[in-house]
Amino acid sequence: MTPIEKISGMIGLARRGKYVCYGDDLVFRIHKKQVIMVFLASDASDRTLRVMEAALQGTPIKIYRNLTKDQLGQAIGHDPVAALGIRNSGIAKRIKELEEEMEQDGQKELE
């Protein structure tokens, strides 16, 4: 199982636990400081990137960009999604560990 598949699985787990938000709810929850991690699709528009950067300004939340819209949508059993947030600290911690493994292995590109 590749790190991308593991990350998708963790996102799916967060979805089943109702710890995923996207769309207008994502921006609302960022402002309420209820989001721990944000994924922005690698093929998201520049406008979406600007909106997310503005929403996250002044927060310690990092934007992860290693999944496409289709991969994000598939991970949560939904149509393609440009951005989504994780609200569970345990799941976010495990995803960060997987991200670090990918960086160490040099596997940052899309698979």
Beta bridge partners of 63: 38
pTM: 0.87
Q: For residue range 3-31, list pLDDT tens digits in order.
A: 889 999 999 999 999 999 998 899 999 99
User: What digits encode the pLDDT tens for the residues 81-111?
Assistant: 999 999 999 999 999 999 888 888 765 444 4
Structural domains of the chain, ranges and CATH numbers in brackets: 3-104 (3.30.1330.30)
User: Would you say how long the chain is, in residues?
Assistant: 111
Amino acid at the residue 29: R
Give CA–CA dist 108/89, Å, rounded: 23
pLDDT at 110: 45
How many helices (H) and strands (E) would you count in the chain? 5, 4
User: CB-hemisphere CA count at 13 Å for 75?
Assistant: 30
Is 99 buried (19+), middle (13-18) or exposed (0-12) by CB count in 10 A?
Answer: middle
